[in-house]
Chain A
Amino acid sequence: MIVWLAIICAGILTFAARFLTLSHLMPKTLPIWLQLAMKFVPVSVLTAIIVPAIFISPETGTLIIQDNLRIGAAIIAIIVAYYTRSTVATIISGLCVIWLLTFWQ
């Protein structure tokens, strides 16, 4: 039940973020620093999730650098993302590299 409540609460807050400035309740402009700061929200939140997903072991919760197959796969995916800007190519290349490396071992 709590899951549904969380989905609905996050849904309401997300809708509020989208609707707020379309409602007539908000001033037409926000402070410049706030507008600037909001531009960095996606890259900051998503990188905070990407980096530990590569470097932190899901089993032990510790940092792994050696024998970490995900580092190689992520580097390939970053290169593919940079040159192709394609979601499909990025996901598939990263997954293929990690599968290849796993079966190679």
Chain B
Amino acid sequence: MFSGKNKGALSEFLAGIKDGLPLQLAVIPFGIVFGMVGLEAGLTPLQTFFMSSILFGGASQIVFTQLYATGTPFTILVTTVSAVNLRHILYGLVMSEYLRHLPLYWRILLGYLLTDEAFAISHLRFTQKHSSDAMHYHLLGSGLILWSCWQISTLIGIIAGPTIPDNFQLGFAVPLTFIAVVIPSLTHFPQIFAGVSSGTAALIFQFLPFNLWIIISAICGIIAGTASSYLMDSRDTKTEEKP
């Protein structure tokens, strides 16, 4: 992989792994929780384990287990789970500037490895001044370290889950994990407004069948967030226009 002239590729690859390492502190407990709740939801150990490589998206996998446990119909389950990963279109959009020239197999591999964390880490590298022809190896490194930790921690969760007694309320780890993801992202009013709207809608629409309230509430949150940031933007431009 790193023959001859590709010494730069090796150092980019290793830098990707090194830059990605601190983030694994958040990835590993998330993976363990997934492994545990996967079994609790009634999935087999094999289904739980392979979901981590087939889907490879933390939050969406936990959403899958929750919907599966409550007997959600196939179409709604697949739609809701995939909706959680829609944001990845944005990552691809940003990354395509740096990756479009690569051969197809590289773009497929890096597309598969493009998660929140790998995007965050490697985008930092891509926007640095000293760009190189081997920069994509950085994303390969940050993507692979995350992928490996995700598979291993899922396995730990699958093995450790059944040893934990029922009264430890492990299911409660699901909202807690999501709190850990959501709270740091609430940096601007539109984000907070989107969360509050979607949370309120989720309580109001509880009566809907097939867990449809998740997707309906999410749409309410997305509209609330988008509309409020539009309004704030136009208000800001108005104040700027004043003499």
A residues with CB within 8 A of B: 2-11, 13-15, 17-24, 28-30, 33, 35-56, 58, 61, 63, 70, 73-74, 77-78, 81-82, 85-88, 90-91, 94-95, 98-99, 102
B contact residues vs A (CB 8 Å cutoff)? 25-26, 29-30, 33, 43, 47, 50-51, 54-57, 59-60, 63-64, 66, 68, 74, 77-78, 80-93, 95-96, 99-100, 107-108, 110-112, 114, 167-169, 171-186, 190-191, 194-203, 206, 213-214, 217-222, 224-226, 229-230
| B108 contacts across to A, CB distance below 8 A | 19
Are A40's CB and B179's CB within 8 A? no
Q: Could you tell me if B54 and A51 are in contact, using CB atoms closer than 8 angstroms?
A: no
> A82–B183 contact, CB under 8 A?
yes
**A-B contact list, 24 entries, CB within 8 Å:** A5-B74, A6-B77, A11-B55, A17-B92, A18-B88, A19-B107, A22-B114, A24-B100, A28-B96, A36-B229, A36-B230, A39-B225, A40-B222, A43-B185, A43-B198, A45-B63, A45-B221, A47-B195, A50-B175, A52-B202, A63-B203, A73-B176, A87-B29, A94-B179
CA distance A50 to B200 in the complex (A): 11
Q: How far is the CB of B112 from chain A (nearest CB, A)?
A: 6
Choose among B88, B180, B197 the residue with the greatest number of A CB atoms under 10 Å from its CB.
Answer: B180
CB of B86, distance to nearest CB on chain A (Å): 5
Partner of A50, one of B182, B206, B225, B230: B182
User: A90's closest neighbor in chain B, by CB?
Assistant: B180
Are B96 and A17 closer than 8 Å at their CB atoms?
Answer: no
Most buried by B among A42, A58, A73: A42
